[in-house]
């Protein structure tokens, strides 16, 4: 008689067999090269993660780019810059185009290099030699020259802040040929050569006048330039208060601790003025802020920052979430709270590691949907599910309050199937199930190699009771495998920008084609 454990009848559709081993040693499904590249582009910051070093990520991205065509590299670079708001990764992909796919470089360049920081990133990566060249070459050099010759004064001043390379280094490398007198004077001033003071553009001239006044002991008018240009000078509390008042929304969010150190909030009315700016709806929309940036700002805020300012960050987060689209039907969000989720969401790098962890992002997503749709079921999991009755989540609480409760659970192994298994055991009905994880599941492995993953098996059981249900696997770390393979009812997506929320809703409503996320990247148009 045949072994009935091996040859028992399979209910439902035939499930795909796993074909890879993930970073944690568990069986998994390998993404296609296009999908894996998209995953790394949307989540990878080229810093060390829980399972992979920065060098490993770089090698993987370089290898993936050899397996896809140049237009895919170009579209992925544009997508992860415009929709994922990434910095290093799109610059790397752009640099790769200078070696593979030069015809697409001028099409992608202006959409990726949309500020001076991105320009310096691009030049730094090219000069490093990691893409196979150490010089800019003719075409990249012309593109950099064009950026320098077309950027306005404000963009050039912002670009002048920072090193490795500095904007002055870039100018010396490419020797732009400006046609305007003010630009010629600015470049000469920037690289320390003689210049015509009267020809300097207004903000730069005001900066030089301010320095002259301070050298003479005169107070002078504080110029409207990036505050980093002023830090080498002696600034008063009033100076710092003016910087805080005239700076843009993002700059204020990122420098609250700096303002506190320099006594800005000690001045009458300044705490209220900064708080008012932070919670301004128009400014939040213009800044294109997304939830994790506000979470990071809140977590990084010191106790020296007044309560009214810290509360304004919470208000800003609630306002930013107003544009998260609702999902029709019952939603279940399963945040991964295992030990590996304690990793910094943008990876580890000495002196530049964010306080925001992967578990914080998973908790934020869960708390967001709970706030938007109060009947959302939140199922944190690690080796097993944290029972809902053990949680004290209140839909009326702020997103940050509920996110803090969820992220405090962090610890244990990773078993992505445990949440769906719990749904099956408790006969839960749902229209959308969302796993928010690093997808490095190893807690439940089939005793037989080359078998379907336990997550796929449990999902197929769930589908028998919920035939129209859909599964979203939201991955927030740069790895190349998944526990649930893409199909008409399953979408794998990476990242933590606001674009993720829109795509989840579109998929839930049947508005995304079978290619799902990679299809969205393929929709990027490249034209002159």
How many Cα neighbours within 13 Å face the side chain of 81?
28
Are residues 284 and 320 in contact, defined by beta-carbon separation less than 8 angstroms?
Answer: yes
Biggest alpha carbon–alpha carbon distance for the chain:
100
* pLDDT of the residue at 407: 84
pLDDT band at 350 (very low <50, low <70, confident <90, very high): low
**Lookup: tokens for 349:** 């790098």
pLDDT: which is higher, 497 or 159: 159
At residue 488, the 3 state secondary structure works out as coil
Which runs of consecutive H residues, i.e. helices, occur in 66-129?
Answer: 70-82, 88-97, 105-112, 116-128
Mean pLDDT for 168-185 is: 96
Q: Tell me the pLDDT band of 333, cut-offs 50, 70 and 90.
A: very high
Q: What is the pLDDT of residues 463-492, one digit of tens each?
A: 999 999 999 999 888 788 899 999 999 999
Q: In this model, does residue 495 exceed pLDDT 60?
A: yes
pLDDT the model gives residue 446: 52
- Distance between CA 151 and CA 183 in Å, rounded? 10
Q: Give the model's pLDDT for residue 510.
A: 87
User: What are 432's strand-pairing partners?
Assistant: 331, 470
Q: Look at residue 351 in the predicted model and tell me its pLDDT.
A: 60
Does the pLDDT of residue 447 top 50, yes or no? no
Is residue 417 within 8 A of residue 483, CB to CB? The reply is: yes
33 has pLDDT over 80: yes
pLDDT surpassing 70 at residue 289: yes
Q: Which of 38-52, 100-114, 137-151 shows the lowest mean pLDDT across its residues?
A: 38-52
Is the predicted pLDDT of residue 29 greater than 70, yes or no?
yes
Average pLDDT over residues 100-118: 94
What domains can be seen in the chain, in order of their start residue?
A: 13-27+327-522 (3.40.50.410), 34-199 (no CATH)
Residue 309 has pLDDT above 60, yes or no: yes
pLDDT at 277: 95
Q: Taking a C-beta distance cutoff of 8 angstroms, is the pair 371, 402 a contact?
A: yes
Residue 420 has what pLDDT?
A: 96
* Torsions phi, psi for 20 (to 5 deg): -155, 165
Given a cut of 80, whether residue 515 has pLDDT beyond it is: no
DSSP lists the bridge partners of residue 514 as: none
pLDDT digits (tens, 9 = 90+) for 209-226: 999 988 888 877 888 888
Instruction: Flag whether pLDDT at 136 surpasses 60.
Output: yes
Confidence bin at 7 (pLDDT 50/70/90): very low
Decide which of 371 and 121 is more confident.
121
Cα(156)–Cα(183) distance, integer angstroms: 10
**How sure is the predictor about 311, in pLDDT bands with cuts at 50, 70 and 90?**
very high
222: which residues sit within 8 A by CB, 6+ positions away? 210, 230, 239, 242, 243
What is the pLDDT of the chain when averaged over all its residues?
87
Percentage of the chain modeled with pLDDT above 90: 49
Q: Give me the pLDDT at residue 403, please.
A: 84
Reported as a single tens digit per residue, the pLDDT across 222-274 is 888 888 898 878 888 999 999 999 888 989 999 999 999 999 999 999 999 99
The per-residue pLDDT for 3 is: 58
Distances (CA, A) of 253 to 114, 268, 495: 21, 20, 22
- Confirm if 379 and 385 have CB atoms less than 8 A apart: yes
Angle made by CA atoms 308, 314, 318, in degrees to the nearest 5: 135
State the average pLDDT over residues 38-62: 78
Packed helices 105-112 and 70-82: angle between N→C axes, nearest 10 degrees: 10
Alpha carbons 157 and 154: distance in angstroms, whole number: 5
Q: Rounded to whole angstroms, what are the CA distances from 263 to 75, 217, 225, 304, 332?
A: 46, 22, 20, 10, 46
440 and 479 in contact (C-beta within 8 Å)? yes
Among candidates 197, 199, 439, which has minimal Cα distance to 340?
Answer: 439
332 forms bridges with which residues in the sheet?
A: 377, 433
SS3 content of the chain, % helix, strand, coil (to 5): 50, 10, 40
pLDDT at 463: 96
Mean pLDDT to the nearest integer, 380-405: 85
Question: Contact at 8 Å (CB) between 350 and 394?
Answer: no
């Amino acid at each position: 008689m045949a072994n009935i454990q091996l040859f028992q009848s399979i209910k439902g559709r035939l499930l795909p067999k796993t074909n890879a081993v993930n970073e944690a040693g568990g069986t998994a499904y390998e993404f296609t090269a296009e999908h894996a590249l998209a995953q790394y582009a949307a989540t990878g910051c080229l810093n060390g993660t829980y399972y992979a070093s920065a060098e490993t990520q770089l090698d993987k991205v370089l290898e993936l780019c050899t397996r896809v065509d140049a237009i895919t590299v170009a579209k992925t670079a544009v997508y992860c810059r415009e929709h994922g708001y990434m910095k290093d990764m799109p610059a790397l992909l752009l640099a790769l185009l200078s070696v593979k796919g030069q015809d697409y470089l001028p099409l992608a360049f202006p959409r990726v290099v949309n500020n001076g920081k991105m320009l310096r990133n691009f030049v730094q990566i090219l000069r490093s030699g990691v893409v196979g060249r150490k010089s800019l070459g003719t075409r990249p050099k012309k593109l950099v020259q064009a950026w320098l010759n077309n950027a306005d004064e404000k963009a050039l001043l912002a670009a002048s802040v920072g090193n490795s390379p500095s904007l002055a280094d870039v100018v010396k490398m490419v020797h732009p040929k400006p046609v305007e007198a003010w630009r010629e004077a600015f470049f000469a001033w920037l690289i320390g050569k003689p210049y015509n003071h009267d020809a300097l553009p207004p903000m730069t001239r005001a900066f030089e006048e301010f320095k002259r006044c301070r050298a003479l002991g005169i107070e002078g008018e504080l110029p409207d330039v990036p505050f980093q240009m002023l830090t080498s000078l002696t600034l008063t509390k009033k100076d710092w208060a003016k910087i805080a008042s005239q700076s843009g929304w993002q700059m204020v969010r990122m420098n609250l601790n700096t303002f506190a150190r320099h006594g800005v909030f000690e001045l009458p009315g300044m705490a209220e003025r900064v708080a008012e700016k932070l919670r301004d709806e128009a400014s939040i929309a213009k800044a294109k802020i997304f939830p994790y940036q506000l979470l990071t700002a809140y977590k990084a805020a010191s106790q020296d920052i007044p309560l009214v300012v810290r509360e304004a960050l919470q208000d800003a987060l609630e306002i930013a979430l107003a544009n998260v689209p609702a999902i029709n039907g019952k939603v279940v969000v399963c945040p991964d709270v295992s030990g590996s989720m304690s990793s910094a969401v943008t990876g580890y790098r000495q002196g530049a590691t964010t306080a925001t962890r992967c578990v914080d992002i998973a908790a934020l997503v869960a708390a967001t949907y709970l706030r938007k749709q109060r009947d959302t079921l939140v199922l944190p999991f690690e080796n097993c599910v944290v029972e809902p009755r053990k949680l004290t989540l209140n839909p009326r609480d702020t997103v940050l309050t509920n996110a803090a409760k969820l992220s405090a659970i962090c610890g244990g192994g990773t078993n992505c199937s445990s949440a769906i298994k719990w749904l099956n055991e408790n006969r839960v009905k749902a229209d959308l199930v969302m796993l928010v994880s690093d997808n490095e599941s190893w807690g439940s492995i089939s005793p037989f190699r080359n078998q379907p993953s336990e997550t796929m098996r449990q999902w197929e059981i769930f589908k028998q009771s919920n035939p129209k249900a859909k599964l979203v696997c939201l991955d927030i770390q740069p790895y190349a495998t998944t526990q649930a393979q893409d199909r008409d009812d399953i979408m794998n997506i990476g990242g933590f920008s606001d674009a993720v929320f829109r795509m989840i809703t579109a998929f839930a409503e049947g508005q995304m084609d079978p290619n799902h996320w990679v299809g969205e990247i393929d929709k990027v148009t490249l034209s002159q």
